[in-house]
Chains A and B, each alone.
Chain A
Amino acid sequence: MTERKPMFTEEQVQRYSRHIILPNVGGAGQRKLLDASVLVIGAGGLGSPVAMYLAAAGIGKLGIVDFDRVDVTNLQRQILHTTPDVGRSKVESAVEHLRAINPTIDIVGHDTLLFSTNVFDVMEPYDVVIDGTDNFPVRYLVNDATQFMGKPLVYGSIYQFEGQATVFLPGKEAPCYRCLFPAPPPPGTVPSCAEGGVFGVLPGVIGAIQATEAIKLITGEGETLVGRLLLYDALHMDFQEVKIRWDADCPVCGKEPTITELIDYEAFCGVPARPE
């Protein structure tokens, strides 16, 4: 008689019971989550809710990247960090709090800035990448790297009261971030980073949408935001959807790509553009 390995431990059956009994997730979906690996880039406003929900959901291996330290001004929205964490490395704080949420999964901290020189190595072990960064250079770097590596990218970004979210799937004439915006805006033309403040709950809404999309990509259930850009205006409680079409002239995923190597764009907002 051959012994079959049970799908879940008793602890897992209890921990994930509300998923296991849920249609469209079930035992099979929960098993996929436990076997999946997700990299969350940024442990800030977006990265906090994304990582917390994914840890709670039982993503088997959850990576989190950041280079910064927790500042008291972060606490208004970056709910992964708490007051006693001020001054600590964000990755260290994030890993500790995520382990408290779910000590049964593998949580990996990557305490680093991302550049063309290290982004492939950092992303390599993960199935799905989540963009929760706060600047254009890393957003383009992450888009291009996921396209080159064939990894799905769950995109979210915010400004003041407004947020955007979508999913980019490499291949099959599906759009990427450069189909939407081919190149970063020249510095000073659009606001970025901390300019003008941010409504604290906003990244919670957009981050929760990103976590939702990541889980759907992994379980294969439902319909993701591929080809659709979701726009959210918190001030007017307005959700809108616009189409994102694959651009045959896209410099990265078009028919004749002109960008075939990673680019380190010039610094925005004091973040160095190249390794120092």
Chain B
Amino acid sequence: MSVTVKLPTILRKHAAGEARVGADGDTLRDVLGDLEARYPGITKNVLAEDGGLHRFINVYVNDEDVRYLGSLETEVKEGDTVSILPAVAGG
């Protein structure tokens, strides 16, 4: 399955400044794995050392937080949008 990944500003430096990139996979775990293969280092601050998702970065498949789907095992469909959203504090 081919999905679009929306990258927050802090991760764009890993992807030559791109805000949206393509990635393949059947689950979120596969998609993030493919993303890492294409852009080494990009998931370093998304995945915790134990392999799970960090709690200060949320990931959405379309408009749903993956914590309420299947976390990393969330299945993705062709054309889905995966959004990575870090907590930001600026004001």
Contacts and interface: CB of A to CB of B under 8 A. Distances in A.
**Chain A partners chain B:** yes
Contacts of A45: 90-91
B85 A242 contact: yes
Classify chain B: how many residues form its interface, as a range: 20 to 34
A132 B91 contact: yes
Interface residues of A, number: 48
A192 B88 contact: yes
B21 interface: no
Contact of B8 (A139, A157, A162): A162
B10 A191 contact: yes
Contacts of A192: 88-90
B83 A231 contact: yes
Contact of B91 (A133, A162, A183, A243): A133
Contacts of B64: 242-243
A217 interface: no
13 contacts: A45-B91, A136-B89, A156-B91, A157-B88, A160-B9, A162-B9, A180-B58, A190-B56, A240-B6, A242-B58, A242-B63, A244-B65, A268-B89
A158 B88 contact: yes
A240 B60 CA distance: 11
Interface string A159-185: 111101000000000000000111111
Contacts of A132: 91
A75 interface: no
B65 A242 contact: yes
Q: Which 4 A-B pairs have the closest CB atoms?
A: A185-B56, A159-B88, A134-B91, A181-B87
Contacts of B19: 233, 235-236, 238
Contacts of B58: 180-181, 242
Interface string B44-60: 01000000001111101
A183 B87 CA distance: 10
A151 B8 CA distance: 31
B22 interface: no
B83 A242 contact: yes
A181 B65 contact: no
A56 interface: no
Interface in A215-251: 229, 231, 233, 235-236, 238, 240-245
B88 A133 contact: no
Contacts of A156: 91
A164 B88 contact: yes
Contacts of A229: 85
B86 interface: yes
B56 A189 contact: yes
B56 A157 contact: no
Interface string A201-226: 00100000000000000000000000
A47 B60 CA distance: 29
Interface string A36-70: 00000010111100000000000000000000000
A183 B90 contact: no
Interface string A124-143: 00000001111110010000
Contacts of A241: 63
Interface in B20-68: 45, 54-58, 60, 63-65, 68
A198 interface: yes
A233 B88 CA distance: 13
